[in-house]
Amino acid sequence: MEVKSMLTYTYVSEGTFALMEKPKPVLQHERDAIVKVTLASICSSDLHIKHGSVPRAVPGITVGHEMVGIVEEVGSAVTNVKPGDRVTVNVETFCGECFFCKKGFVNNCTDQNGGWALGCRIDGGQAEYVRVPFADQGLNKIPDGVTDRQALLVGDVLATGFWAARISEITPEDTVLILGAGPTGICTLLCVMLHSPKRIIVCEKDASRLQFIRRHYPQVLTVQPEDCAAFVRAHSDHGGADVVLEVAGADSTFRLAWECARPNAIVTVVALYDKAQTLPLPEMYGKNLTFKTGGVDGCDCEETLRLIAEGKIDTEPLITHTYPLRRIAEGYELFEKKRDGVIKVAVEC
């Protein structure tokens, strides 16, 4: 029997998400695919939408931009995936043909659906089905032997961590400081570890997250924010970190990032802030810092899936809680209030 409608979690208005039935999506373009969502996740960006800090988010859209599933139908121009394929879904929609896509800057795709569209400007994947534009770019086949849970974070937070580590120019001699040990911070840590720097320090204020880091990655040094600057100076070779990745996005962490950097260091700002940050150039004068900022360019998903298949990246421990779609509101409440040691919530669709 053909499915006509589906359950979705939808952005109703500022402060309100709700479970509701919607028509099952259909192909709208020859480059589209329809994916049966098997597993989705809840992301901090979803909370930003809920609280009105993503102005481009459209009321009425189904939220969710991190998911895996099975391809059900493809448009006539789709060649990289076929019905029946298990796939990850990229957080970004990109055409693959414009100036920015060809440069690998897919976050800046100039198509009208380019950039973060799913779960923000068009219906996303906290639902039973999702329509994915530019399916050849936005879907990646999951290797045999890699489970849905192992692949779930590939399209968003792992893509962000991989991008952040890649642009940070990490060398084996470096001391790397990561500010924030939430889901994106831990994914960033996993990708920094691929570069084998001399020393990694993670700064986090939440005791349960620090415990998570110590339990799973005992080789990594940990510190709380109030002790961070002194700790980094004591555990680096040149008076500060060679590379700082700011993944926390708290009121004080942008300042902490550049204060903990040595002169001529790279500071990569991964975090999404709720308000403007101050760049106090007179205080920075002479540090000659290089800042790298912006949204993830999620074009390395095939490589991260290969690394997962090879056992070099394991994000499954980050999935601490799982809920069925009908109970997704409980998952949101747990995630937003950071209860019960939550890192990442999976949603069975």
- 130 and 208 fall within a common domain: no
Looking at residue 272, what is its pLDDT? Answer: 81
Tell me the C-alpha distance between 144 and 150, whole Å. Answer: 12
Distance CA 124, CA 40 (A): 10
Structurally, how many domains does the chain consist of? 2
What sign does the dihedral 96-190-250-291 (CA atoms) show?
negative
Same domain, 282 and 325: no
Q: Are 12 and 143 in a shared domain?
A: yes
Instruction: List the CATH number of the domain containing 34.
Output: 3.90.180.10
Domain hosting residue 222, numbered range: 159-293
Same domain for 139 and 109, yes or no, is yes
| Final residue before a domain boundary, out of 273, 293, 313 | 293
Q: Are residues 171 and 137 in the same domain?
A: no
Beta carbons of 305 and 142 less than 8 angstroms apart: yes
Question: In the chain, where does DSSP find H-type helix?
Answer: 44-50, 99-102, 135-138, 148-151, 157-167, 183-193, 207-216, 225-234, 253-259, 281-284, 301-309, 328-337
Smallest CA-to-CA distance from 65 within 308, 337, 295, 333 is with 295
145 shares a domain with 77: yes
Looking at the chain, the number of H-run helices and the number of E-run strands are 12, 15
- pLDDT at res. 184: 95
Low-confidence ranges of the chain (pLDDT < 70): 1
pLDDT on residue 295: 84
pLDDT value of residue 275:
84
Q: What is the DSSP string of 214-250?
A: HHH-TTSEEE-HHHHHHHHHHTSSSSSEEEEEE----
Say if residue 205 is in the same domain as residue 314: no
Q: How much is the pLDDT for 36?
A: 98
- How far is it, in rounded angstroms, from Cα 202 to Cα 139? 32
In terms of domains, do 100 and 27 share one? yes
CA distances from 30 to 33, 106, 109, 282 (A): 8, 20, 19, 54
pLDDT at 274: 77
Looking at residue 1, what is its pLDDT? 58
Q: Are residues 165 and 271 in the same domain?
A: yes
* 214 shares a domain with 121: no
Residues 216 and 344 in one domain: no
Single residue among 293, 318, 333 that ends a domain in this structure: 293
Q: What pLDDT, on the 0 to 100 scale, is given for residue 251?
A: 87
Beta strands across the sheet bearing 199-203: 221-223, 199-203, 175-179, 241-246, 261-269, 290-293
